[in-house]
């Protein structure tokens, strides 16, 4: 019994041989019968006649034989398929248009599905990724310093917690190009991240070559070791298979390469979207970092079976015993309520969920529009083929056969569209995966995988059924008699079709309208974001990381050395023609940042629990001018030396806060003194504009600027403002720096605008995608309108001819056709606008300074749709008005 299906399938493929055998068998059968009859004494003719009668219908016998032995439905399907390919081949333009429309719809869907799958659905690229948690305090305004922990806190948490297999972390303050590889020529800049030695063990990553860090590598005074990323190993070291064990001069120390990371591990893609990391180095937990304060981000791996709630409870239990620094018992307990694990996946891509859902809905709508369009095209085609179907019905084709035939056609179209669409999606995904500048996580791991293929098949089949079913049922339900009789084009049947087609067009316009509104709102938000006063002027400014060595026996000597280096460099660079201002800061806005506690006005009592201090920037004179940040009061001068009055510049928000706290006269901060725990305090000499330091969209926090002559910077970013495009100065600036310091690496010359673009890149990315989908939707809707109006003009040729013969003018005919076009468009727009208003909540959280019911956007969208509809209707209208009454009346 179980063998029947395979045998039947076999029979399907050996049809010809089986048919021949049956033929022979039947022939033998006939001969036996004739022979027997002859033996009874009948004449040959009669014997043959009787034999044929007793055999019954031979054709029926064959048919029945085929039905029993093979797969009848498959047979029919193959028949339908052949027929479909023949008819589509005859109607190539239709087929091409249909396949193209579908390819666009399906391609967009598959590409977006891949993005959604990578960012939201698929687990992170680590084994048992659901066990991984990101441990951080709830978000605050003091930047990374309030999102990280100290090394003492790390130790306490690791020892005290019970729900975690292990806890690891990395140094959150590494700046780009912090590594300088010296191979002889100019030093090569690279970026490395310091991680706690057990980092890869916790993540479950295995080395492609060599080994990972051990506790010994992270010990004080351990020999320097480094792990290369796959990309850097290939780019910089020509994929040297014997790299492990070799040593190189990095940052002036002989560093041993102990391994190469697998290609699948991309630190930037997971933890620092849109930036590239070339190497990983061990973090020395018990050396100087011990006194650096909050520097480590926590990543934990929960024990199997531990729930997130349990992990949270555990963290909350340990938090009060964690100390900021064990040397200061008063700092113990400062992390209370500040140790909260969230699934690592949520940390990485949780914020993007809403954007992705909107994106997914947008492509879904595109597919719907494509389906409606196809339905419309098929319906028009089916109307033209009405007689063919009527004839087939008359010849005995059942209704299901006709629906089946039409469904086969739509499935063939959608499958062809899917194949082409998959190609498009592949290109799009490939392109996206190589957009390193977009600050979206996991983008580099984007690819078309099995799930995407499955999704393609799913949407191809459902699209095929969706757009094939309406015309199919409509055709099969028709009145046979009427269709056969109906020779003129003005019959009632076609009128019914037209109503259906009009409804489809209205749907299409409404969907396109929703897409346009969404895109319009996002576009408006994006423009508003670009308009935000960032507190600095990004255009015509650029930054380059400057190498310097200020190591000296005492801090004073070090400061003096540094001051000379900085002043020389700035003087030299400012002398370059075209440079208007230059200055140095250790951190740039929209990048990494840190805070150093909270300096309060002298005399104001220090309150407990207030740890969210201002972000700290250590700068030189000229930096704020180079950035284009306005200052009230004065900028630092080179005379603000280590032994002079200690001075600071604060931003407006912090100044307001301090003024409110200390009740300064006129609320003016300039000239006031802050308590920094030292002798003289910090005198505020200037108040700077609020700078967007973490993102371009949110509120700005507190900022404080220290002069590099009095405080210690962690690195130096030389910022230049020029009258020329900054890139034109790159060479002369680097040459100047290298004359002063031969160790200066060929660091990247980064326009400040690129920092802003980087911060805006996710919004730009989503806006561009939704806008291009809206454009596509608009185009498809226009196509739909054109199709319907054009068809109805053709159908009414005679009627228009008569009206023109009776004196209707060309203008009147045109107006009438245009009128019916606009009617469709207006109904569609009204429905679409209503749907958009209803759906506004979905998109509201993605908007910036834009109401989801923004009147201007809605008006612009309606105007655009109406204009496009008019164009789509104008072409057939013009044709209608050019109808020659004589020709029209003679036709038919």
Partner 1 sequence: MSKLDLLQGTLDVMVLKTLAAMGSLHGYGIARRIEQVSGNQVLLNQGTIYASLVRLEQRGWIASNWGVSGNNRKAKFYSITRAGRRQLAEDARYWERLTGVMDRVLTMDSEGGEEPA
Q: Which residues bind partner 1 (CB under 8 A)?
A: 1, 3-4, 7-8, 11, 21-22, 24-26, 28-29, 31-33, 35-36, 54-58, 60-62, 64-65, 67-69
8 A C-beta contact, residue 279 and residue 290? no
Burial 85-120 (b: 16+ CB within 10 A, else e): eebbeeeeebbebbbebbbbbbbbbbbbbbbbbbbb
Residue 14 neighbours by CB under 8 Å, 6+ apart: none
Nearer to partner 1, 41 or 184 (CB): 41
Q: Which of 362, 358, 368 is nearest to 459 (CA)?
A: 368
Closest CB 40 distance from partner 1, rounded Å: 13
Nearer to partner 1, 55 or 891 (CB): 55
Closest CB 56 distance from partner 1, rounded Å: 3
Nearer to partner 1, 31 or 482 (CB): 31
Closest CB 73 distance from partner 1, rounded Å: 17
Nearer to partner 1, 40 or 238 (CB): 40
Which residue reads 């309150």 in tokens?
607
Closest CB 401 distance from partner 1, rounded Å: 22
Nearer to partner 1, 25 or 799 (CB): 25
Nearer to partner 1, 61 or 560 (CB): 61
Closest CB 11 distance from partner 1, rounded Å: 8
Closest CB 364 distance from partner 1, rounded Å: 46
Pair type for strands 716-722 and 579-585: antiparallel
Question: CA-CA distance, 610 to 642, in Å (whole number)?
Answer: 29
For 315-391, list the strands marked E by DSSP. 340-343
Closest CB 404 distance from partner 1, rounded Å: 24
Tokens describing residue 353: 């969920």
List C-alpha distances in Å: 861 to 514, 519, 775, 822, 864: 9, 9, 11, 15, 5
Q: Which of 459, 492, 535 is nearest to 689 (CA)?
A: 535
Closest CB 19 distance from partner 1, rounded Å: 12
Query: CB count, 10 Å around CB of 125?
Result: 18
Closest CB 67 distance from partner 1, rounded Å: 7
List C-alpha distances in Å: 462 to 109, 450, 459, 466, 469: 13, 18, 5, 6, 10
Residue 807 buriedness (CB in 10 A; 0-12 / 13-18 / 19+):
exposed
Residue 107 neighbours by CB under 8 Å, 6+ apart: 420, 421, 422, 423, 424, 425, 428
Question: CA-CA distance, 588 to 755, in Å (whole number)?
Answer: 9
H-assigned helices in 41-135: 44-55, 58-69, 72-90, 92-116
DSSP bridge partners of 749 = 544
Nearer to partner 1, 11 or 112 (CB): 11
Q: Which of 144, 135, 169, 137 is nearest to 596 (CA)?
A: 144
Nearer to partner 1, 5 or 239 (CB): 5
Nearer to partner 1, 34 or 429 (CB): 34
Closest CB 41 distance from partner 1, rounded Å: 17
DSSP bridge partners of 707 = 619
Closest CB 65 distance from partner 1, rounded Å: 5
Radius of gyration of the chain (CA): 38
Nearer to partner 1, 26 or 842 (CB): 26
Nearer to partner 1, 21 or 482 (CB): 21
Nearer to partner 1, 31 or 556 (CB): 31
Nearer to partner 1, 60 or 242 (CB): 60
Closest CB 31 distance from partner 1, rounded Å: 6
Residue 436 buriedness (CB in 10 A; 0-12 / 13-18 / 19+):
middle
Closest CB 4 distance from partner 1, rounded Å: 5
Nearer to partner 1, 10 or 492 (CB): 10
Closest CB 25 distance from partner 1, rounded Å: 5
Helix, strand, coil proportions of the chain in percent (round to 5)?
Answer: 55, 15, 30
Burial 856-882 (b: 16+ CB within 10 A, else e): ebbebbbebbbebbeebbbebbebbbe
């Amino acid at each position: 019994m179980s063998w029947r299906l395979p045998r039947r399938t076999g029979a399907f493929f050996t049809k010809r041989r089986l048919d021949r055998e049956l033929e022979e068998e039947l022939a033998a059968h006939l001969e036996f019968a004739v022979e027997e009859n002859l033996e009874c004494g009948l004449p040959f003719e009669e014997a043959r006649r009787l034999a044929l009668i007793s055999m019954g219908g031979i054709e029926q016998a064959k048919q029945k034989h085929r039905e029993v032995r093979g797969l009848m439905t498959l047979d029919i399907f193959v028949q339908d398929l052949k027929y479909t390919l023949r008819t589509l081949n005859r109607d190539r333009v239709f087929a091409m248009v249909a396949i193209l429309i579908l390819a666009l719809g399906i391609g967009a869907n598959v590409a977006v599905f891949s993005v959604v799958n990578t960012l939201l659905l698929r687990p992170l690229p680590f084994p048992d990724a659901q066990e991984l948690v990101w441990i951080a305090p709830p978000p605050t305004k003091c930047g990374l310093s309030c999102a990280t922990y100290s090394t003492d806190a790390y130790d306490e948490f690791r020892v005290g917690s019970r729900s975690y297999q292990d806890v690891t972390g990395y140094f959150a303050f590494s700046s780009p190009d912090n590594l300088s590889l010296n191979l002889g020529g100019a030093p090569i800049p690279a970026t490395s991240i310091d991680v706690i030695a057990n980092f890869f063990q916790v993540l479950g990553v295995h080395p492609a070559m060599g080994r990972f860090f051990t506790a010994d590598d992270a010990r004080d005074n351990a020999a320097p070791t480094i792990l290369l990323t796959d990309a850097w190993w290939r780019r910089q070291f020509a994929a040297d298979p014997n790299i492990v064990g070799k040593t190189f001069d990095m940052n002036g120390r002989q560093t041993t390469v102990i391994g190469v990371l697998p290609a699948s591990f991309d630190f930037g893609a997971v933890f620092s979207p849109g930036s590239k990391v070339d190497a990983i180095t061990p973090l020395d937990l018990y050396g100087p970092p011990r006194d650096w304060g909050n520097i480590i981000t926590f990543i934990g791996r929960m024990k199997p079976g531990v729930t997130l709630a349990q992990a949270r409870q555990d963290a909350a239990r340990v938090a009060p015993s964690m100390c900021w620094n064990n040397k200061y018992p008063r700092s113990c307990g400062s992390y209370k309520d500040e140790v909260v694990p969230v699934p690592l996946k949520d940390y990485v891509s949780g914020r993007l969920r809403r954007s992705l859902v909107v994106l997914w809905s947008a492509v879904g709508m595109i597919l719907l529009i494509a389906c409606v369009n196809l339905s419309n095209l098929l319906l028009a085609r089916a109307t033209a083929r009405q007689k063919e179907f009527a004839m087939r019905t008359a010849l005995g084709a059942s209704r299901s056969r006709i629906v089946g035939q039409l469904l086969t056609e739509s499935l063939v179209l959608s499958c062809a569209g899917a194949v082409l669409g998959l190609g498009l999606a592949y290109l799009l995904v490939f392109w996206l995966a190589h957009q390193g500048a977009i600050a979206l996580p996991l983008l580099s791991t984007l690819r078309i995988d099995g799930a995407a293929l499955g999704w393609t098949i799913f949407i191809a089949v459902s699209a095929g059924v969706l757009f094939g079913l309406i015309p199919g049922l409509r055709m099969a339900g028709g009145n046979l008699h009427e269709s056969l009789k109906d020779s003129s084009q003005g019959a009632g049947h076609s009128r019914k079709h037209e109503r259906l087609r009009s409804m489809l067009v209205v749907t299409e316009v409404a969907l396109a309208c929703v897409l346009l509104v969404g895109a319009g709102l996002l576009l408006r938000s994006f423009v508003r974001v670009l308009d935000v006063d960032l507190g600095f002027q990004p255009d015509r400014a650029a930054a380059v990381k400057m190498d310097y060595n200020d190591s000296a026996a005492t801090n004073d000597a070090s400061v003096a050395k540094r001051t000379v280096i900085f002043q020389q460099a700035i003087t030299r660079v400012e002398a370059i023609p075209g440079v208007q201002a230059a200055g140095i800061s250790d951190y740039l806005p929209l990048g990494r940042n840190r805070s150093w506690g909270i300096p309060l006005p002298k005399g104001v009592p220090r309150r407990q629990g207030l740890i969210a201090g201002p972000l700290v920037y250590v700068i030189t004179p000229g930096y704020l001018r180079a950035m284009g940040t306005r200052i009230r009061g004065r900028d630092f001068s080179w005379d603000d030396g280590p032994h002079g009055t200690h001075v600071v510049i604060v931003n407006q928000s912090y100044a307001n806060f301090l003024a409110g706290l200390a009740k300064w006269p006129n609320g003016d901060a300039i000239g006031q003194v802050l308590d920094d725990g030292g002798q003289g305090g910090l005198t505020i000499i200037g108040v700077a504009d609020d700078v967007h330091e973490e993102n371009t969209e949110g509120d700005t926090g507190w900022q404080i600027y220290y002069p590099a002559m009095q405080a210690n910077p962690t690195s130096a970013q030389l910022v230049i403002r020029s009258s020329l495009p900054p890139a034109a100065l790159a060479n002369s600036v680097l040459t100047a720096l290298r004359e002063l310091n031969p160790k200066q690496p060929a660091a990247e010359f980064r326009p400040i605008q690129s920092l802003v673009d980087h911060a805006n890149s996710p919004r730009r990315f989503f806006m561009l995608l939704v806008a291009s989908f809206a454009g596509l939707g608009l185009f498809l809707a226009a196509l739909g309108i054109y199709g319907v109006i054009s068809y109805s003009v053709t159908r009414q040729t005679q009627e228009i001819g008569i009206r023109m013969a009776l004196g209707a003018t060309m203008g009147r005919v045109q107006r009438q056709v245009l009128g019916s076009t606009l009617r469709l468009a207006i109904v569609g727009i009204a429905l679409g606008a209503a749907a958009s208003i209803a759906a506004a909540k979905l998109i509201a959280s993605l908007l910036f300074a834009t109401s989801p019911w923004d009147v201007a956007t809605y008006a612009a969208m309606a105007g655009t749709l109406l204009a496009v509809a008019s164009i789509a209707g104008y072409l057939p209208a013009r044709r209608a008005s050019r109808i020659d009454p004589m020709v029209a009346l003679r036709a038919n």
